[in-house]
Amino acid sequence: MPDNILTIKSNAKKLAKMAAADLADSVHFFKTARQMDTSEFNSDRGGHSPGDTVSVRIPAQASVGTSSFDLTGALQDVKERSVDATLDIIGTVGFDLDSQQLAHDIDLGKVYDRFIRGFVKDIAASVEAQALTKATQATANLVGTPGSTVVDPDTVLAGREKMSKFLAPKDDNRFFLMDSTAMRSAVNANKNLFVFGKKEYGQGYIGDALGYSWMENELLYQHTNGADVSVAIESTVLAPAPGATSIGVDGVTSGATIKKGSTFTIAGVYAVHPQTKVALPFLKQFTVTADVTETSGNSVTIQISPAIYSSASGSLQNVSALHADEAAVVFDGAASTTYTQSLMYHKEAFRVASVPLVLPTGAEFAEQASEDGMNIAIIRDFDVLTRKMITRIDFLGLVVPVRPEWACRVTS
């Protein structure tokens, strides 16, 4: 009889490849968002660890001249921005197999099906949920009626309108992820509009309608509002300024927390067309980027996205005017209430990455493989204290909102 351990060891790379293929087949968001080029995260460095950072470039914007070809006095600095992103989407499973368990299954497929496939599926669900939480919390645009399960054509078109007004490309790279409850309502209301195909999107793909590829996903972000959803700008807490990533507010209930991922508008602060800078017929929407709790004076400073740029910021302008003192800040939905957030997005709204990991050199085996941009590592070694063969499966990645205005939540 062949040595069981050596049989497994010699096929470790195949096991890793099978795991990577299963991982890639089990995700929607990672497969439909733009994957980072390996050069962006220095893939030749020998592997990454949680907490490593990469710098992601955001495309520059320019003000377009219309009155003359004379550029005298009109030359612009190239304002290419970047975002530092942390490798913080982690999926890991550890388990032990003794020699007796392995002795009965030297067939590679059986070993994979019995001991690895289910864990890979669990990792896929976990990292997909983490990625969707981060992407949705970074998305300020929101349509729909909080608390309603109705997703009719007008709701979908309202989300499409938001994305289109901010110049998201009108191509076949627009996607719509929703859970089964929203899907039931949406498909019933839009069933005569679907075109079916695109099998490459895998399980959960429904069809194409209203300019989007629709997919069912039960891992969507559920947002719970804080205990206060109606406050006002207070300039003495923080003076309005171009490029601000925080606002000062008062009227906050004592001890109340305003939650990360909450979306809101500010009275008098309208969105503008990204190129013409003409005010659009709706208020600019913002999202809270960190929890904040009132501790004194019924006022707090809220960290927000996107940054607020007025006309003084040239090509970066994204609002009609800076926020005025005592302007109402109105959050979407009721206080302390949870809402499911379906997500519409263009492929270029987010960057995702699944990176190679640092591997040990002294283990019985340590292999990793990638499939469709999804990397997974499998490590196996002997624990002398328990006399068990310990196996671990690991994933490390990130998601970065590069153009979050090209995405929109649909709340329900």
- Check residue 142 and give its pLDDT: 98
- Check residue 371 and give its pLDDT: 94
Find all residues with CB under 8 Å of 287, minimum gap 6, and list them: 137, 138, 139, 140, 261, 262, 263, 264, 304, 305
Tokens 């939540």 sit on residue? 409
Asked if 284 contacts 267 with a C-beta cutoff of 8 angstroms, the reply is: no
Distance CA 366, CA 360 (A): 7
Cα–Cα separations (whole angstroms), residue 65 to 77, 78, 313: 14, 15, 16
What pTM was computed for the model?
0.89
- Check residue 161 and give its pLDDT: 97
Domains of the chain, CATH where assigned: 4-107+355-395 (no CATH), 226-336 (2.40.30)
Asked if 208 contacts 195 with a C-beta cutoff of 8 angstroms, the reply is: yes
Mean pLDDT by groups of 10 residues along the chain of 412 residues: 52 90 95 84 68 76 65 63 85 78 61 89 98 98 91 92 97 94 81 64 71 92 95 97 97 97 98 96 98 97 98 94 97 97 97 92 90 94 83 95 97 92
- Check residue 80 and give its pLDDT: 62
- Check residue 102 and give its pLDDT: 52
Strand partners, 393: 93, 378
Asked if 262 contacts 288 with a C-beta cutoff of 8 angstroms, the reply is: yes
